[in-house]
Amino acid sequence: MRANRLGAALAVALSVTCVSGALVSCGSGEPAGSPEAAPETAAPQGPVKLTYWAWAPNMDKIVKVWNAANPDIQVTVSKQAGGDDAAAKYLTAAKAGNPPDLVQAEYQHLPSFIAADAVADLKAETAPIKGEFSDGLWNLVTLGTDAVYGVPQDSGPMMLFYRKDLFDKYGIEVPETWQDYAEAARTVRKKDPKAYLGTFSSKDPGAFTGLAQQAGAQWWSISGESWKVNVADEPTRKVADYWGGLVKEGAIDDMPYFTPEWNKALNDGKLLTWPSAVWAPGVLSSNAPKAKGKWAVAPLPQWNAGENFSGFWGGSSTAVSARTPHKAAATKFATWLNTDQEAIDLLVKEAAIYPATTKAQSALGEAPAYFSNQPDFWQQAATVSAGARGFTFGPNVGVTYNAFKDGFDKALQDGTPFSAAVRAMQDVTVADMRKSGFQIAP
Amino acid sequence: MAGVTAATAHRRRAHGAFAGRPWGVAPTALLLLGAIYCLFPVFWVLIAATKSPGELFSTPTLAFGTGFFDNVAELFAYRDGVFWLWAANTLIYAGGGALLSTAVSAVSGYALAKYRFPGRNAIFNLLIGGILVPAVVLAIPQYLLFSQIGLADSHWAVLLPQILHPYGIYLARVYAAAAIPDSLLEAGRIDGAGEGHLMTRVALPLMVPGMVTIFLFQFVAIWNNFLLPFIMLGDDQKFPLTVGLFTLLQAGANQPALYNLILTGALLSIVPLIALFLTMQRYWKTDLSSGAVK
């Protein structure tokens, strides 16, 4: 899609300016200490003014509450476009020397911010709130190191969304394992040759990443000073080949998510499931409004019966710019926004996020309107969330994700095995990291 | 403009040499096809903007919906009417940028066409080279430069880079060379007019049709520009429509995508462009007729 290509173009342009180094010094070449070490002015004149880039809806309303209560720290929200482009834009701004003080950072983009020295380490300031989050989520903002690069805001544990009415009609049980899911896919094809149980999207690396996490993949890890990259590990290949097999035999469709034809299939009842994340009700209610009340939710099918694993698709944190002269104030705001009860209530209500703190997750009450037929929606989500496992993201997720799109597009077109596409992702990722000067552990 | 002249040329030929031959209609048919190809997406936006969120993906592509006025009302209410702010910003960027750019282009084009001075060809070749460099490539270097002088994230950051427009200068030069007879300037000089006087009283009035063309080109280009303001601006109060609507499109997964607002916004944002073209058309007519005087 255009947006993603734009992100890639920005990233490429950035790395070009980095290589030539003509205008600004880039990344680690710059002594990161100087802006960070700038001491907070002892007696600030007037209120501290902070800018905050975010794309979550109605963030300005939430910030208004903070501003009213904290006249000495005034935050201005600037609503940005989300996604990969937002990350590229923030990196560009950080390299040019005028980033905002705070930024909404998706978990998978945080490592690229860290690698560019664009976000501050909040270890000391966030020590008291560490216990509010599950280890899995906390790991996403620490990357398994001692530092803390952001405060988790929302999370996207994956679940299986399915058309309850059509499952009943075709006599299909909710699949408990992926083997069941494959069987169900074949049944659907027999009952209605125009309908599919699901589809494999070659345009949404985030979804595939979540499924790989569920299977236990660990694409990146840090050992000492070097990175271990294992995108084509055994769980990932297993997931890829599973979906590749289903697509090849025609048991599931291969149209990408979030396209008009996909919306139409959802509306017409030609797609019966969507393995997606907890934020799916928002998407479904806008893209398939006709099917309101017909969907239900269940945990993702498991690889081995009796397990209870899930992965993450999406989710973001609030990070503080490494260049901000008001690190303490910014961290104070980030902490309030993501752990204060009033703020979380507002986030849930106004920004429609699935909160990151464990306590808030279990306190969610009424199910989303689209799922009014499933009163235990949030309890299901909390259960799934407890079993969701993420992994450390690497510094060049954008490159890996683009390799996913290229590789799986081609695999779908040529009918080649999906595991080959996964291997290509691994090769491209490692090559790019080498080029950028990262040490790769064998 | 090119389309208009091409069409008349074809028509003339169709009535002349090819009259009576059945395949004489082929060029017209081809042009019609081209017109449909260009206009269909606009038509699609028009239809899609009338659909309510529920109808957008469930009714046939070419069937009108029932939600147009709801969409418009919802769009104007979105974030307390931020749409109007973005529209005003776009007008400032496109109107101001196009005016400044036209002024710069006209003066430089005139100078390049009518004065002989050392380095003239070098400058002109440099400009031709400038045409070949897509503005998109320059956006990031420009951002870094503007950051260094502290102008990033200001209105100037979007206005200034679009003022110098090599293609506009090139057009102005070509137009000035053709539209301003040297003898006219000579006569003015003999009558004792100064060079500044010559330019404002003799040359520029003759160049108006060319300047209108440059203005329109630049206006449309800035109106539609996405990458430059996207990179330059961090403050959403300064966004133009293109970047503003993009924030609706990429609103994050946890809120329903606002397709109906985006489509309505896209439709409303092309209305001023259409109006501008319709009102500016008469200047092009003078362009065609003024050439006939000689």
Could you report the per-residue pLDDT of A321-342, keeping only the tens digit for each?
A: 999 999 999 999 999 999 999 9
C-alpha neighbours within 13 Å on the C-beta side of residue B159:
16
Our count of domains for chain A comes to 2
* Same domain flag for A232 and A187: yes
Quickly state the pLDDT bin for A114 (edges 50, 70, 90). very high
Q: What is the mean pLDDT of chain B?
A: 86
Which domain does B117 fall in, by range? 81-290
Is the model's pLDDT at A394 over the cut of 80? yes
Instruction: Collapse the DSSP code of A295 into the 3-class scheme (helix H, G, I; strand E, B; otherwise coil) and give the result.
Output: strand
Which domain does A120 fall in, by range? 2-9+23-156+313-365
* Same domain flag for A298 and A318: no
Report if residue A386 sits inside a domain: no
Is the model's pLDDT at A68 over the cut of 80? yes
* Same domain flag for A151 and A231: no
* Same domain flag for B138 and B185: yes
Tens of pLDDT along B247-285? Answer: 988 876 666 668 889 999 999 999 999 999 888 877 765
Amino acid occupying residue B9? A
Q: How far is B76 from chain A (nearest CA, A)?
A: 16
- Looking up residue B241, the CATH number of its domain turns out to be 1.10.3720.10
Report if residue B17 sits inside a domain: no
Q: What are phi and psi of A362, to 5 degrees?
A: -85, -10
Whether residues A263 and B57 touch (CB distance < 8 A) is answered with yes
Q: Residue A425: which residues within 8 A CB-CB, separation 6 or more?
A: A231, A232, A400, A403, A404, A407
Quickly state the pLDDT bin for A212 (edges 50, 70, 90). very high
Report if residue A382 sits inside a domain: no
* Same domain flag for B269 and B202: yes
| Other beta carbons within 10 Å of B2 | 6
* Same domain flag for A81 and A144: yes
Q: Give the Cα separation of A208 and A199 in Å (integer).
A: 12
Q: Which residue has the higher pLDDT, A7 or B227?
A: B227
Nearest to A24 among B57, B144, B235 (CB): B144
Q: What is the pLDDT of residue B287?
A: 55
Report if residue B64 sits inside a domain: no
A286 to chain B, any CB pair closer than 8 A? The answer is yes
Q: Residue A369: which residues within 8 A CB-CB, separation 6 or more?
A: A285, A292
Q: How far is B236 from chain A (nearest CA, A)?
A: 5
Q: What is the mean pLDDT of chain A?
A: 87
Whether residues B148 and A289 touch (CB distance < 8 A) is answered with no
* Same domain flag for B38 and B158: no
Look at A360-369, B140-149, B221-230, B282-291 and tell me which has the smallest mean pLDDT: B282-291
Tokens of A354: 């699935």
Tens of pLDDT along A352-392? Answer: 889 999 899 888 888 888 898 999 999 999 999 988 888 99
Report if residue A381 sits inside a domain: no
* Same domain flag for A119 and A196: no
Q: What is the pLDDT of residue A45?
A: 65
Report if residue B75 sits inside a domain: no
* Same domain flag for A253 and A126: no
Is the model's pLDDT at A121 over the cut of 50? yes
Report if residue B57 sits inside a domain: no
Compute CA distances B110 → A386, B102, B115, whole Å: 72, 12, 8
Q: What is the pLDDT of residue A128?
A: 94
Q: What is the pLDDT of residue A20?
A: 37
* Same domain flag for B46 and B167: no
* Same domain flag for B99 and B35: no
Is the model's pLDDT at A17 over the cut of 50? no
Report if residue B73 sits inside a domain: no
Cβ contacts of B227 on chain A, cutoff 8 Å: 6
Our count of domains for chain B comes to 2
Q: Which residue has the higher pLDDT, B152 or B23?
A: B152
Cβ contacts of B246 on chain A, cutoff 8 Å: 3, 81
* Stretch 62-81 of chain A: residues touching chain B, C-beta under 8 Å: 78-81
Could you tell me how far CA A285 lies from the centroid of its own chain? 20
- Looking up residue A282, the CATH number of its domain turns out to be 3.40.190.10
Q: What sections of A21-82 are H helices per DSSP?
A: 33-37, 59-69
Cβ contacts of B140 on chain A, cutoff 8 Å: 10, 13-14, 17, 92
* Same domain flag for A203 and A318: no
3-state helix, strand, coil in chain A (%, to 5): 50, 15, 35
Mean pLDDT throughout A24-43?
39
Nearest to A57 among B143, B145, B251 (CB): B251
Q: What is the pLDDT of residue A1?
A: 37
Is the model's pLDDT at B2 over the cut of 50? no
A149 to chain B, any CB pair closer than 8 A? The answer is no
* Same domain flag for B181 and B115: yes
* Same domain flag for A250 and A145: no
Tokens of A312: 């993450």
Q: Closest by alpha carbon to A332, among A323, A348, A343?
A: A343
Nearest to A282 among B57, B253, B259 (CB): B253
Report if residue A45 sits inside a domain: yes
Largest CA distance in chain B: 74
Report if residue B60 sits inside a domain: no
Q: Residue B166: which residues within 8 A CB-CB, separation 6 or more?
A: B127, B128, B130, B131
The ipTM is 0.79
With a pLDDT cut of 70, the percent of chain A lying above it is 90
Residue pair A330/A336 in contact (Cβ under 8 Å)? The answer is no
Q: What is the pLDDT of residue B259?
A: 85
With a pLDDT cut of 70, the percent of chain B lying above it is 87
Is the model's pLDDT at B68 over the cut of 60? yes
Nearest-Cα residue of chain B relative to residue A283: B256
* Same domain flag for A186 and A256: yes
* Same domain flag for A60 and A148: yes
Look at A1-5, A39-43, A108-112, A396-400 and tell me which has the smallest mean pLDDT: A1-5
Report if residue A18 sits inside a domain: no
Is the model's pLDDT at A41 over the cut of 70? no
Report if residue B72 sits inside a domain: no
Residue pair B240/B86 in contact (Cβ under 8 Å)? The answer is yes
* Same domain flag for B32 and B158: no
Q: Closest by alpha carbon to A311, among A395, A205, A162?
A: A205
A270 to chain B, any CB pair closer than 8 A? The answer is no
* Same domain flag for B158 and B281: yes
* Same domain flag for A225 and A244: yes
With a pLDDT cut of 90, the percent of chain A lying above it is 69
Compute CA distances A436 → A87, A224, A426, whole Å: 18, 18, 15
Report if residue B56 sits inside a domain: no
Instruction: Collapse the DSSP code of B81 into the 3-class scheme (helix H, G, I; strand E, B; otherwise coil) and give the result.
Output: coil
| Other beta carbons within 10 Å of B13 | 13
Residue pair B76/B83 in contact (Cβ under 8 Å)? The answer is yes
Whether residues A83 and B254 touch (CB distance < 8 A) is answered with no
Most confident of the following: A228-237, A278-287, B196-205: A228-237
* Same domain flag for A50 and A89: yes
Mean pLDDT throughout A5-10?
44
